[in-house]
Structure 1
């Protein structure tokens, strides 16, 4: 299976690439990034500028796209810059993949994503979901994780770190969908969705909420062992 992974240098993206490269049924991973990744026999790593994506690259055609592309308003510097990255770049890449014949798009969104949300961040995520639906992929999978735990961020996020600490400390008292979810579980759920897509005559949209992502890596690992 040939997979195209967007946002491969982020927390979830790094996990996606690692898990995809280790999967026996994945023959090639295409990961366009701004900076070079560590080489791997199954990895094709085009160096790109997301503001000027190549229109006719043959690698846009894949069995599925897994998108973990995104930033924060703080890192982007403004709401406009954030929207350009999290919305415009994602939809531009999705449009090119769709035009090239890719049938399945798996998108890492956020818990509470809604174009009418009070939070600008969640508004943008919700608009991306709406625009991905409008592109008409044969299958669209949307995952909506809560706070992400695990991995090492390049930027410091004190408020998020405190929230994750409290989530782990009082985990049993917090509703499951609001608990922090490990980036490895998010990646595992996305990869499982990509590898097990079912295509129907009409557009198919599946939404996985945060509570459904909990323990995804453990579940997929156990299923793999049972098959062996």
Structure 2
């Protein structure tokens, strides 16, 4: 499989990248990044440096025959104007999606939205309406080939940390408690590894459900032929 990951520097994106690296059938991993990290990397990874995804162009032959794009990028709506939030959340996502589809029309597109996103456009919360608009646009752009993830709390792995200080503090406090609850009760919390494995299974087996909440993501992550 040849995949593109957008947002691999964030907590969810890091988890998706780790799941992809662990998958033997993933042959090519293209990361859209602002700048490539230093150090040694898996030979399957190709970095494409782009400082402005609003102007992203997928004309490079590297973007031909892509099997899937895993879109994990996004910003918090806190303290951000609706115009700015829409530009980054809607305009940027659709620019990347349209460009990739033009060169790989049969690809799958998996988008990490959020629990509470509103595709009806009636929510009083700005972020929920904008996320819902993105979802609707992607489902129209990729009929039968788009999947929307609406996770709530996501359990990080020990080696992955959020870049947002407030989130890091929250996860430092909550994650150990969630792991303890999981160990003592058998209750499974959604992890970033689950999200990555679910994305890979959608690429392998196709889209059975277009909007996936936590139970759907877990079921998809556990799917076998």
Per the TM superposition, whether the score is higher than 0.5 is yes
Distance in 1 (CA, whole Å) between partners of 2:27 and 2:135 is: 28
Alignment check: 8 A CA contact 1:60 1:96 kept: no
Distance in 2 (CA, whole Å) between partners of 1:160 and 1:211 is: 26
Alignment check: 8 A CA contact 1:70 1:86 kept: yes
TM-score by length of 2: 0.79
Give the equivalent residue in structure 2 for 1:152: 161
List aligned pairs for 1:79-158, cutoff 5 A. 79-103=82-106, 104-114=108-118, 115-150=121-156, 151-157=160-166
List aligned pairs for 1:1-228, cutoff 5 A. 1-37=1-37, 39-49=41-51, 50-61=53-64, 62-74=66-78, 77-103=80-106, 104-114=108-118, 115-150=121-156, 151-157=160-166, 161=170, 165=174, 168=178, 181-197=190-206, 206-214=210-218, 219=222, 223=224
Distance in 2 (CA, whole Å) between partners of 1:160 and 1:212 is: 28
Structure 2 counterpart SS, 1:31? strand
Q: Which runs of 4+ in 1 moved over 6 A?
A: none
Alignment check: 8 A CA contact 1:109 1:142 kept: yes
Question: 7-16 or 179-188: which moved more?
Answer: 179-188
TM-score by length of 1: 0.78
What RMSD, in angstroms, separates the aligned Cα atoms of the two structures? Answer: 3.0
Alignment check: 8 A CA contact 2:54 2:95 kept: no
Give the equivalent residue in structure 2 for 1:201: none
Distance in 1 (CA, whole Å) between partners of 2:80 and 2:13 is: 22
